[in-house]
Amino acid sequence: MRISCPHCGERGLAEFTYLGDASVTRPDPGLPGAADAFYAFAYERRNVAGLMQELWYHQAGCHAWIVVSRDTRTHEIFNVRLAQDVALERSKSSVSHAP
């Protein structure tokens, strides 16, 4: 498995550190039901068999956090984006969808 870092290009797996599912986001502690939401945030995982969005850290490279779209059944990588861009996009869409 080799990962194409948006800054550094294609690099070997040993340069990267894995965090986990990138679809997990920190809940708002002010909302009702926050305790349950934090439990799910900390412990529950969809554990996808198939295409998964994952957070990786380019530790032995540019130190960027990246979001990798990868098939957990075959290890095939489809897309790599900077986590910063993904987060900005997510915050934009959550603002535009706010009531």
The binding site for another protein (CB under 8 A) comprises 1, 12-14, 17-18, 20-21, 39-40, 42-49, 52, 54, 70, 72-75
Report, in Å, the least distance between residue 37 CB and another protein.
12
Question: Residue 59 or residue 93: which is nearer to another protein going by CB?
Answer: 59
Bridge pairing between strands 77-82 and 51-57:
unpaired
Question: Residue 32 or residue 99: which is nearer to another protein going by CB?
Answer: 32
Question: Residue 28 or residue 44: which is nearer to another protein going by CB?
Answer: 44
Contact 25, 42 (CB under 8 A): no
Residues of 1-39 as b/e, b for ≥16 C-beta within 10 angstroms? eebebeeeeebeeebbeeeeebebeebeeeeeeeeebee
Report, in Å, the least distance between residue 94 CB and another protein.
22
**Amino acid identity, residue 95?**
V
Report, in Å, the least distance between residue 92 CB and another protein.
27
Q: In terms of Cα–Cα distance, which of 7, 22, 21, 24 is closest to 58? A: 7
Question: Residue 44 or residue 85: which is nearer to another protein going by CB?
Answer: 44
